[in-house]
A and B are shown apart, each in its own frame.
Chain A
């Protein structure tokens, strides 16, 4: 720990020299090619939401087909696969990853650690535009000859580049791989920014152990993503070469339609290793920011300091580290040495320990708290319940013997939608309701918020609870149409129809949310600087919404952690992080 010599009024001189800000000269550089992290964060969020809506519509189409087979003739089996693939890929990579890291990361990191901006603003801007390009390339594949790829979001070879798979021998898979490569390049530019900003640009007094857990979550997830995404990049490059130049990295010798293909000796398993070396950390790249954000929401809206802050930080770090040695639990059904299976099952189950610590700490934070059931809090609570649900079925699936029979059923679909779909999305909603007042200066409408919450929350359970059940019955996933089978009873078909109707309703509820977002920009109740009476630094900006440079004349000085709520003897039930001790006691 080093403090530069010289001090002003007894306060050690800034370790972080005030940066010279870039100043936008025109409307275009202020709002379009902006280098301000806050604008970039909003751009990321809007783009991710837009492409997420496409994925939402795709899920509707899939549910229509599954719930009412034969009714919607225009959904062919090939299209069904394309919908599955694009829905999964968009939701996991282009929505969740981009929104948590690019969106919330950009908006919140500088504000929460008391910096003026990211350390490399120009690169930050490039990061967004490359992300947008990646999204456009992805969208282009919908219009390419043959349509988008239908290989499943895992893009397993050899099927992903064979002619039997939609887009396999057309443009679909090529555009998909190019888009992923662009995404990774763009993300790396942003990721370098988030990491170095957290390391180097914290305000005076903001030690690592005083950072809000949101920043810890985003920071750790970014470090993981920087190391995991290269694995996806490598597999994308090699698959592209297999597809375009006829190499045999992943492609074994194959006979297709009576024709011997030119590939020989390649290993599909190699792809799976590389893919899941990215794919499993990816789960936590999405989950860790969600963990962090939810900790902050719960603490603020229960007016309680977070229980076990240190444990929470350690758990984030341990989960991040462990997630790099569990990847092969996605490959139990690909066949492996039983000892490997044992190893990966063990590491997988060990992750439950730090995760459970987090859940207990959330509960203990709520215990005897002054719980305000605001919309952000509702979503945070919904997250905990949903995450526990999805986590428990994860314990089932982490065991090889249970996973093998369930792996190809709807049970897995229900599991990962609970844990990786619904749970993080609830956090995103909660976070938007929570920080929208800071971003726009106005509150989101409460009534619309509650309608949105209850329909989404109950609806999500009505969708995914029955799905576990039909999975246990043995209803397979990835099937365009089940047809007549001996083991699927008629009631399962009824349930399927029910799930589809609920999916349509929950999807429609999101329109209320989007309308609320647009409506409240002008019509929302004025929020003031700190509507939730929160202690963390982003609520202490001199202006709301924070202007370029965030902090006006002087950078804030931090005197305490971010969770001083209901401190005995304090004048208010919260003490802002930048409040000097003498003043807090007044």
Chain B
């Protein structure tokens, strides 16, 4: 459970930092705000959708970290763990996902300067690379399968299929949102709105890239 404890500790530190800025030492019973000096709420100016995404990422992070915890514990709790032959395909897939993330980064840059075509190209390229990643993951499954590691053969392979599936499903969910954003861009949605949507997609993609690199490292470790 070390991984998840560390993860919660990091989130806890962020929460503590944020709380420390909420005037926890205030004495609200003494502070009656006159109309002119009503204290602000302390709400940040971050759009709700952006904050919502970050909270969601924290939850997904917890989910993935728990899988990592389970992986590490299962690995050491019993003597039956057999290392999984890492399919070379995974290296290629990692590069594809990085490319996909880069595409969305470009789209975000384009959105910042208001270059509509750049947004579309970036998002479509990123989306295609992500689809390529998913297809590649499927091929990696085939490679592992060919090595004689089925879903129930060994916990190492069980975890491999499970973790790649969970990550893939999150990417798939992202692709649905990305598809909608591309559609809205093509229909000529307002730039201000697009800017936020593209930024959110890009953030999600970077998160999934970082998560994948961590999970890939874990699989290599096992």
Contacts and interface: CB of A to CB of B under 8 A. Distances in A.
Contact of A277 (B4, B49, B162, B166): B4
A476 B52 CA distance: 47
B42 interface: yes
B88 to A, nearest CB: 25
A262 B152 contact: yes
B24 interface: yes
B67 to A, nearest CB: 6
B58 interface: yes
A582 B34 CA distance: 8
A42 interface: no
Interface string A328-348: 000000000000000000000
Interface string A247-264: 111000000000000101
B41 A206 contact: yes
Interface residues of B, number: 59
Of residues B5, B43, B52, which shows the largest number of chain A Cβ atoms within 10 Å of its Cβ? B43
A207 B48 contact: no
Nearest to B64: A230
Nearest to A188: B59
Interface stretch (B7-15, B178-186, B195-203): B7-15
Interface stretch (A135-143, A356-364, A401-409, A554-562): A554-562
A202 B22 CA distance: 13
A245 B41 contact: no
B155 A266 contact: yes
Contacts of B62: 226-227, 230-231
Interface residues of A, number: 76
Contacts of B151: 241, 245-247
B214 interface: no
A233 B162 contact: no
A310 B52 contact: no
Contacts of B48: 119-120, 196, 200-201
A199 B51 contact: yes
Question: Which residue among B41, B48, B52 has the maximum number of chain A CB atoms within 10 Å of its CB?
Answer: B41
Contacts of B22: 207-209
Contacts of B25: 310
B152 A245 contact: yes
Interface in B1-51: 1, 4-5, 8, 11-12, 15, 19, 21-29, 31-36, 38-46, 48-49, 51
Contacts of A192: 52, 55-56, 59
Contact of B43 (A200, A231, A241, A249): A200
Contacts of A267: 73-74, 77-78
Nearest to B21: A1
A501 interface: no
Contact of A196 (B23, B27, B51, B158): B51
Contacts of B78: 265-267
A209 B11 contact: no
A12 B166 CA distance: 47
A2 B4 contact: no
B27 A310 contact: yes
A14 to B, nearest CB: 9
B152 A207 contact: no
Contact of B41 (A16, A196, A584): A16
Contacts of A324: 5, 8
Given A227-B11, A267-B78, 4 more contacts: A193-B52, A204-B38, A205-B41, A563-B29
10 contacts: A15-B43, A119-B52, A227-B58, A245-B151, A246-B151, A247-B155, A247-B158, A270-B73, A273-B73, A582-B35
